[in-house]
Chains A and B, each alone.
Chain A
Amino acid sequence: KQEVTQIPAALSVPEGENLVLNCSFTDSAIYNLQWFRQDPGKGLTSLLLIQSSQREQTSGRLNASLDKSSGRSTLYIAASQPGDSATYLCAVDSWGKLQFGAGTQVVVTP
């Protein structure tokens, strides 16, 4: 059974610092991996989708890497801002079903 882990569970950084969020998964036979952002009391917003054949995806200040062989993905957020405060979740698509990590709660202090 696929298991997805996100460490750390919570992270606090000063504004301007780069954020590094980790996601690991136990079964490397994945179809793709997606990173989401969730604000308190809201639904999930898609940030980046990486297909299994890709090594990374970029969108603005966000960059996500994927290493299937080691079962890891990393989300980098450059020059963090207070508006980046949220919970970030990764989800792995195995056999058509998304398996989610528990998320990393990020606070960016001004």
Chain B
Amino acid sequence: NAGVTQTPKFQVLKTGQSMTLQCAQDMNHEYMSWYRQDPGMGLRLIHYSVGAGITDQGEVPNGYNVSRSTTEDFPLRLLSAAPSQTSVYFCASRKGQSYEQYFGPGTRLTVT
């Protein structure tokens, strides 16, 4: 199994540009989540999904959209990038609420 994969690894955007961060898992996990990690702030939940077709907001959802059309994929869309969205983004998945969570390697995003 490849586990949780994320692309790209690095990205630089200009303010106002849009882009999609890709996340995929091959473990048939129902739960998937997106986090951002900032120095001194820890990991904060952006959006999460408990199955295909079901998504919900986390702690910091503004400026981000998600959809879950398949079990495997959970892309994160930045609608209009802002410097405040400069961060490291992690995707994670787990089989269900009673199971451990697995993380992808992260995407380092810089918005200038």
Contact = CB atoms under 8 A, between A and B. Distances in A.
A103 B50 CA distance: 26
A36 B43 CA distance: 12
B97 A46 contact: no
Contacts of B45: 97-99
Contact of B101 (A98, A99, A101, A103): A98
A96 interface: yes
Nearest to A31: B97
A91 B35 CA distance: 13
Interface in A61-110: 89, 91, 93, 96-103
B90 A44 contact: yes
Given A96-B50, A97-B58, A98-B33, A46 B101 contact: yes
Question: Chain A contact residues: over half helix, strand or loop, or mixed?
Answer: strand
B48 interface: yes
Contacts of B53: none
Given A89-B42, A97-B45, A100-B43, A46 B100 contact: yes
B103 A49 contact: no
Interface residues of B, number: 26
A99 B101 CA distance: 12
A51 B98 contact: yes
Contact of B42 (A34, A49, A101): A101
A103 B105 contact: no
A58 interface: no
B75 interface: no
13 contacts: A42-B105, A42-B106, A43-B4, A43-B104, A44-B103, A89-B42, A93-B97, A96-B97, A97-B45, A97-B48, A97-B59, A99-B45, A102-B42
Interface of A: 31-32, 34, 36, 42-46, 49, 51, 89, 91, 93, 96-103
